[in-house]
Structure 1
Amino acid sequence: MKIEQIYTGCLAQGAYYITSNGEAAIIDPLRETQPYMDRLKKDGVTLKYIFETHFHADFVSGHLDLSKKTGAAIVYGPNAAPDFEFISAKDNQVFEIGNIKIKVLHTPGHTMESTTYLLIDADGNDHAIFSGDTLFLGDVGRPDLAQKAASMTQEQLAGLLFHSLRDKIMTLADDVIVYPAHGAGSACGKNMSKETVGSIGEQKATNYALRANMTEEEFIKEVTDGLLPPPAYFGMNVAMNKKGIESFENVFNNGMKAINATEFEVVAEETGALILDTRSNGDFAKGYVPQSINIGINGDFAPWVGALIGDVKQPILLVTDPGMEEETVTRLTRVGFDNLIGHLKHGFQAWLAAGYDVDTVNRITAEQFANEVKIGESKIIDVRKESEYESEHVEEAYSRPLAAINEWIKDINPEEHFYLHCAGGYRSMMAASILQARGYRNFSEVEGGFNAIAKTNVPKTDFVCQSKVLKV
């Protein structure tokens, strides 16, 4: 028996590849299937089942492409009703893969179809669970994402989750391994550990939601407290995972079309495409194609694309560093942004060489900020998360999280100058690009963000540990 966790950092997502005696199973596969096909060929095994823990909201699964290429059956737990052929597993149903077994544990609460898969080894011992978004390390799945589909309140779903955890998972032996679908950084929970593998015993001892003697009322209150609004693309990804999608290869080939600088501007105007520049925030500040939005590939790229662009059907043209086209297109397809028209051939330098207009961002250093700013008079906008802001911030700064920019941008006075910063420059450049695309030019963005500002003499509030701020 072999279990391989295939962890994708930019999504904080874990897929699982399991083999035993010539047969294989894959749990929660990513959209691009070639890496799985390569593993199957290398190991000389046949893919028998593709198990899905639930209808994912934060990424598009590769279950359909993988099933078409291998003939493997797609398995969901109870209550799932997708628009394609699948096996609707019953609670406690057992599937055999080689010498091992996978037992279905229906664990509703995150969603109604949420299912945990228990792996039973060749000796008949409970070995591991693949807990999807039901149980994370340090947290549990948020119960607010499936309210409309389930016609239930988040409190009612949280109540189901309470019983799923205590009746199905906490009854397992302490040495059973826990393989969750996500780790720290995912929007599917609020307090996940950076670790990606744990055990039932560890979680009983450390996970706030698995406390001994915890009442259902206490659980519901704590699990629903402090939930941030889900990213706009979540509902669209759920629909794509239920209804079916275009093949990864077709979408990939569209995104890989190289468009020269002369045609690029014409295509942008004809299609109404959003120009997405994935270069570093430093390079973007120095020069970019006018009206571009900057979301750097070297960061939480795909989740931020989903949060800020939102509509997965939005036509997109790409500007990347040369050689990064394939990586960028792949990451976009993972979160369902399939309307990719192509990318600027040879990148931004080709645009410069063609002599077209270039825009820039007014970026200043932290030292310049310290010399210019007048606390109490100057307007300062901090686009970090509220928890970051509350832990420590520049005195008199306004908290305006990037994720909510569409709400607070309308309150900006275009005649009043302000300073803009995040933690290190990644998020504030996203905000700067959106502001300038909408006609706001009255700001200075601070290079290095709060991390750099903290090293100057600019007055700051006293530091408060973020775990206390989060109240979990």
Structure 2
Amino acid sequence: MIFERFVDPGLSQHSFVVGCQGIGEIAVIDPQRDVDVYLDYARDNGYRIRYVMDTHIHADFASGARELADKTGARLMLSGHDAGEHFQVQFPHDDIHDGDRIEIGNVRIKVRHTPGHTPEHLMFVVYDGARSETDPVALVTGDFLFVGSLGRPDLLGEEAKRDLARKMFRSVREKLADLPDGVEVHPGHGAGSACGAGMSGRPVSTLGYERRTNPYLDPALSEEAFVERLLHGLPEIPDFYPRNKGINTEGPRDVIPLPGMVPLDPLDVARRVRADEITVIDLRDPLAFGGGHVPGALGIGIRGPFANWAGWVTPDDKPVILVDDTGDPELIEEAVRGMVRTGRDYIDGYLHGGMAAWAEAGLPLATLRQVDAYQARESVQRGDAKLVDVRTPAEYAEDRHDGAIHRSVSETREGVPGVRMEDPVAVICGTGYRSTVAASILKRLGHQRVTNVVGGMAAWNAAGSEAAGLWPDAA
């Protein structure tokens, strides 16, 4: 039996290859947008991609299923339970339904309809016939069952969420009941995804362990108690989720070969920046970004949850230019892959030579002031600056400075209520990554006196301890 997991760490998204070694045929489940990774895998191992399948119409990423099937001649098999629903797949495919079976040599995949996260959601029960015809070896659960959690039911809006939560309750009670404790659980996401709350960082579990430890699988929960628990504490919905729903319904366009792999002259980029024709995304770390960047650039470091934030805060109305230190094509390609996975295809190219070339050309630089937590505390306590906390509501509720203004990163695109363009603000998050994203957004909006708190709330709290007394002149 062939069973492989492919992980996109930027979105905490998992896709799978399932197949039979004996006949060299495979199915690809929930493929990411840049499908060359599966084409390369199949070629390198001598496999034929026979089936391409999605567990559901995804929101968090643009699916590569249609393009992969087109490029390989594989059968594209998608849920037939979308009939009559708000989101229905509009491009040619084969419908599959609850109880259907897909045979690949000795491997059998049985389809189970598991509505709750979405109405059409499917789970795939995988059997290795060479070992057992009756006991499944794995569950590919998509966004139904996660390690430690379940898929959120609110992505279709307020009116639908309670009905979907009740459907999730029935899916949990009915579609898992006859499965053995020892079967492996392989979810579509791990910790870091916004498709559910409280996911574990572990990529795999067993159904027996989930039955004992997953709070949503508690058999003592009534339906109403289950619904309330499932709807409590859900993370903010990224606004690229609805866009991706539409993309995956209509059929994503091909992105292989990748867009944006075009080096652009610094002077041409500067002209387009002055004309406000483009959005520049700076891929460097927060300190490098703060030291000098293209005016108006968004600081979204590649060494972080880049794909999520690039998908979330990048404006839709202008093409994107990517910038790093030197114009490294490998790093640019990594960023392009992250962006197309969230449906951000409008990438014109990258700054040839990076920021080094920009500086050598004598082009203007903008800066983002960086302050240590001790300085930030002193400034806020004196009333010289307003503290803007851009962490999640749960983080803010657990540990915060009482005078802070809470505003999520995505909300900073509309500014900060009560803060004028000329007001000094210090932006803080958990570590300094998200605050750099938010601070760059505020600077792009025209805020003139923005600083980033290096080290985030951990450093802020440490600066307020007795240890800060070791550095009485730090302010």
Scaled by the length of structure 1, the TM-score of the pair is: 0.92
Partner of 1:142: 152
342 and 376 in structure 1: CA distance in 2 versus 1, 3 angstrom threshold: closer
Partner of 2:269: 264
Is structure 2 residue 410 aligned with structure 1 residue 403?
Answer: yes
Partner SS, residue 356 of structure 1: coil
Letter in 1 for 2:320: I
Partner SS, residue 381 of structure 2: coil
Structure 2, gaps ≥5 residues long:
83-87, 467-475
* 1:327 positional shift: 0.8
Partner of 1:297: 302
CA distance in 2, matches of 1:314, 1:94: 45
CA distance in 2, matches of 1:443, 1:329: 29
Partner of 2:175: 168
CA distance in 1, matches of 2:414, 2:265: 36
Partner of 2:471: none
Is structure 2 residue 288 aligned with structure 1 residue 283?
Answer: yes
CA distance in 1, matches of 2:426, 2:275: 35
* 1:430 positional shift: 1.1
Letter in 1 for 2:141: S
Is structure 2 residue 211 aligned with structure 1 residue 211?
Answer: no
143 and 194 in structure 1: CA distance in 2 versus 1, 3 angstrom threshold: same
Letter in 2 for 1:13: Q
Partner of 2:421: 414
Partner SS, residue 161 of structure 1: helix
Structure 1, gaps ≥5 residues long:
460-472
Letter in 2 for 1:328: A
CA distance in 1, matches of 2:261, 2:417: 36
453 and 229 in structure 1: CA distance in 2 versus 1, 3 angstrom threshold: closer
Check conservation: 1:231, 1:310, Cα contact below 8 A: no
Partner of 1:469: none
348 and 304 in structure 1: CA distance in 2 versus 1, 3 angstrom threshold: same
Is structure 2 residue 392 aligned with structure 1 residue 352?
Answer: no
Partner SS, residue 202 of structure 1: helix
Partner of 2:70: 68
* 1:376 positional shift: 7.1
* 1:214 positional shift: 1.2
Letter in 2 for 1:317: I
Equivalence map 1:71-110=2 (5 Å): 71-80=73-82, 81-110=88-117
CA distance in 2, matches of 1:157, 1:193: 23
CA distance in 2, matches of 1:52, 1:91: 14
396 and 344 in structure 1: CA distance in 2 versus 1, 3 angstrom threshold: same
Partner SS, residue 221 of structure 2: coil
Once the two structures are superposed, what CA deviation does each residue of 1:235-290 show, in whole Å capped at 9, x if it has no partner?
1111111212221124x2x3111101111123445672111111111100000111
Partner SS, residue 178 of structure 1: strand
RMSD: 2.0
Letter in 2 for 1:402: V
Check conservation: 1:232, 1:310, Cα contact below 8 A: no
Q: 2:320 aligns with which of 316, 320, 344?
A: 316
12 and 43 in structure 1: CA distance in 2 versus 1, 3 angstrom threshold: same
* 1:375 positional shift: 6.3
CA distance in 2, matches of 1:175, 1:208: 19
Letter in 1 for 2:6: I
Letter in 2 for 1:176: V
More off after superposition, 7-16 vs 221-230? 221-230
Aligned sequence identity (%): 34
Once the two structures are superposed, what CA deviation does each residue of 1:310-333 show, in whole Å capped at 9, x if it has no partner?
63x642111123321111111111
More off after superposition, 126-135 vs 381-390? 381-390
Partner of 2:162: 155
Partner of 2:469: none
CA distance in 2, matches of 1:266, 1:88: 50
Moved over 3 A (4+): 267-271, 370-373, 375-378
Equivalence map 1:226-265=2 (5 Å): 226-250=233-257, 252=258, 254-265=259-270
Letter in 2 for 1:316: V
Partner SS, residue 266 of structure 1: helix
CA distance in 2, matches of 1:443, 1:11: 29
CA distance in 2, matches of 1:34, 1:142: 30
Scaled by the length of structure 2, the TM-score of the pair is: 0.91
CA distance in 2, matches of 1:44, 1:457: 60
More off after superposition, 94-103 vs 443-452? 443-452
Letter in 2 for 1:243: E
Letter in 1 for 2:147: L
Is structure 2 residue 119 aligned with structure 1 residue 119?
Answer: no
More off after superposition, 191-200 vs 17-26? 17-26
Letter in 1 for 2:78: Y
Letter in 1 for 2:353: H
CA distance in 2, matches of 1:171, 1:399: 46
Once the two structures are superposed, what CA deviation does each residue of 1:331-378 show, in whole Å capped at 9, x if it has no partner?
111111111111110101111111111110121122322444426775
Is structure 2 residue 352 aligned with structure 1 residue 338?
Answer: no
Partner of 1:462: none
* 1:306 positional shift: 1.9
